[in-house]
């Protein structure tokens, strides 16, 4: 640290020099991120709530009400009148909370000690962190030929150690939706906690369904679903960090509660102590500002771009891995190694991401990628082989 205070302008210039090294969403070159630039109004509101701390909600009763309202509004999208939950830092923390609730619940009511969680092979890596932190074993369910969780594989993996089953509504690599209704039935019949990870799909599937897209039910209308992760900071256009975890029963929060002496509330169920109220306020703002109409329009535009890219790729002779259900396109070329395509695109200034299962270039059609960027991308892809 410097001995003497430094002038604000100098500090700011220094910081902006660093910031120049960052990629900018607005350039349309970031092709593999599930995040995007937040809506300007959400950013404005975020700044006004920077000092609020939901870790001590008795001091910030108004902001706590905002969080409750946001959870209720997201719940409405997910077919539940009275959800219990929190706005957290992202999908990782939301998934961690869900698995912690499941583990504690199974410990309390079934006496399970060395628990297991059944997750699809396509699950986000956050479940590995959760299992590690919570001392649980991961049991990986196979995928079917369409890269979705194999229902029979899940059935065969259930044991008296199973504390939770996880399925995904909008997989990170391919944007696919697992057969959640079938898994819900199995979980319900076997009295096992069922968590749906809709970190990516939660802010688009409900709107796309309303628009008539043929997408499966994935929410609390299915009786087996105990909790859902939804990330406002992905398709919700809220500023980072904003994840959402919603539970069907308050009891799932209660099994995680620890005493919180010296605070204005007696117990705390979140993983994080001091935590932002700004995320809740900004999410509230952007949800009201967009409304269902705004989000439907956004989701539909992203799907239009998805199909535009998919068709363009096919015309150029690329193989599209699967018919996109959400706004992700994954592809390969029959004659060029995928990593080579990725390298060449990188050289041309694109930031691409390569999926592992199956290996493919993976493009997430977020709001910062416009049609003109896609046309430029297709031009570059034409040159590559
Ligand atoms: C993005 C994502 C996560 C992790 O969310 P973070 O906000 O990065 O913590 C978890 N699950 C799925 C399906 C995701 O797409």
Please spell the DSSP secondary structure of 256-295, one letter per residue.
T-EE-TTSSSSEE-SS-SS-BSHHHHHHHHHHHHHHHHHH
- Specify the ligand 1 atom closest to the Cα of 168: 13
Q: Which atom of ligand 1 approaches the CA of 198 most closely?
A: 13
Provide the H-helix boundaries in the chain. Answer: 8-20, 40-48, 61-77, 91-110, 126-133, 151-157, 180-189, 205-210, 251-254, 278-315, 338-347, 371-384
- Residue 201 Cα to ligand 1 midpoint, Å, equals 10
* Site to substitute for ligand 1 among 167, 229, 231, most atoms within 8 A of C-beta: 231
Q: Which of 121, 124, 201 most suits a substitution to test ligand 1, by most atoms within 8 Å of the C-beta?
A: 124
Residue 204 CB–ligand 1 contact under 6 Å: no
Is residue 298 within 8 Å of 313, Cβ to Cβ?
A: no
Distance 91 CA to ligand 1 centre (A): 4
**Residue reference for tokens 């391919």:** 174
Residue 65 Cα distances to 28, 71, 99, 203, angstroms: 37, 10, 26, 22
Domain 41-287 class, CATH top level: alpha beta
Q: How far is the CA of 8 from the centre of ligand 1 (A)?
A: 36
Question: What's the helix, strand, coil split of the chain in %, to 5?
Answer: 40, 20, 40
Angle, to 10 degrees, between the axis of helix 91-110 and the axis of helix 126-133? 40
Query: Would you write out the chain's pLDDT as a tens digit for each of its 385 residues?
Result: 999 999 999 999 999 999 999 999 999 999 999 999 999 999 999 999 999 999 999 999 999 999 999 999 999 999 999 999 999 999 999 999 999 999 999 999 999 999 999 999 999 999 999 999 999 999 999 999 999 999 999 999 999 999 999 999 999 999 999 999 999 999 999 999 999 999 999 999 999 999 999 999 999 999 999 999 999 999 999 999 999 999 999 999 999 999 999 888 899 999 999 999 999 999 999 999 999 999 999 999 999 999 999 999 999 999 999 999 999 999 999 999 999 999 999 999 999 999 999 999 999 999 999 999 999 999 999 988 6
Confidence at residue 342, expressed as pLDDT on a 0 to 100 scale: 96
Atom of ligand 1 nearest to the CA of 170: 13
Cα of 125 vs centre of ligand 1, distance in Å, is: 8
CB distance 306 to ligand 1 below 6 Å: no
Tokens 């043929």 belong to which residue?
A: 214
Rounded Cα–Cα distance for residues 61 and 326 (Å): 38
pLDDT of residue 43: 98
Is ligand 1 within 6 A of the CB of residue 200? yes
Half-sphere exposure of 380 (CA within 13 A, CB side): 18
Residue 262 is predicted with a pLDDT of 86
Report whether residue 34 contacts ligand 1, using a CB cutoff of 6 Å: yes
Q: What CATH topology corresponds to 9-36+292-384?
A: 3.90.1150
Cα(73)–Cα(76) distance, integer angstroms: 5
pLDDT score of 75: 98
Rounded to the nearest angstrom, the distance between the alpha carbon of 148 and the centre of ligand 1 is: 17
Prior bond of 270 cis (ω within 30°):
no
pLDDT of residue 334: 95
Residue ranges of the domains in the chain?
9-36+292-384, 41-287
Give the CB-side neighbour count of residue 38, counting CA atoms within 13 A: 22
pTM for the complete prediction? 0.97
């Amino acid at each position: 640290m410097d001995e003497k205070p430094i002038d604000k302008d100098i500090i700011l210039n220094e910081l902006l020099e660093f910031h120049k090294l960052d990629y900018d969403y607005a350039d349309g070159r970031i092709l593999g991120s599930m995040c995007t630039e937040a809506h300007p109004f959400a950013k404005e509101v975020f700044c006004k709530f920077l000092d609020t701390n939901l870790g001590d909600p008795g001091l910030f009763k108004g902001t706590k009400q905002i969080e409750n309202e946001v959870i209720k509004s997201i719940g409405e999208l997910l077919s539940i009148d009275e959800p219990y939950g929190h706005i957290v830092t992202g999908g990782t923390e939301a998934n961690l909370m869900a698995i912690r609730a499941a583990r504690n619940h199974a410990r309390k009511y079934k006496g399970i000690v060395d628990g297991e969680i059944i997750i699809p092979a396509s699950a986000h890596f956050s479940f590995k962190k959760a299992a590690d932190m919570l001392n649980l074993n991961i049991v990986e369910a196979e995928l079917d030929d369409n890269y979705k969780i194999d229902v029979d594989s899940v059935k065969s993996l259930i044991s008296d150690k199973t504390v939770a089953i996880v399925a995904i509504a909008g997989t990170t690599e391919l944007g696919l939706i697992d057969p959640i209704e079938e898994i819900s039935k199995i979980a319900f019949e076997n009295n096992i906690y069922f968590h749906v990870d809709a970190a990516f799909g939660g802010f688009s599937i409900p709107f796309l369904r309303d628009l008539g897209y043929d997408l499966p039910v994935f929410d609390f209308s299915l009786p087996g679903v105990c909790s859902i992760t939804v990330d406002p900071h992905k398709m919700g256009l809220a500023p980072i960090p904003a994840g959402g975890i919603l539970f069907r029963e308050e009891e799932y929060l209660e099994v995680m509660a620890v005493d919180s002496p010296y605070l204005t509330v007696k117990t705390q169920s979140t993983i994080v102590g001091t935590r932002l109220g700004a995320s809740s306020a900004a999410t509230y703002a952007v949800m009201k500002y967009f409304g269902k109409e705004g989000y439907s329009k956004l989701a539909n535009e992203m799907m239009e771009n998805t199909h535009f890219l998919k068709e363009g790729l096919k015309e150029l002779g690329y193989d599209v891995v699967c018919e996109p259900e959400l706004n992700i396109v994954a592809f390969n070329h029959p004659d060029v190694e995928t990593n080579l395509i990725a390298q060449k695109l990188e050289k041309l200034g694109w930031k691409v991401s390569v999926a592992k299962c199956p290996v493919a270039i993976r493009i997430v059609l977020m709001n910062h990628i416009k049609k003109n960027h896609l046309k430029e991308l297709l031009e570059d892809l034409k040159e590559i082989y």
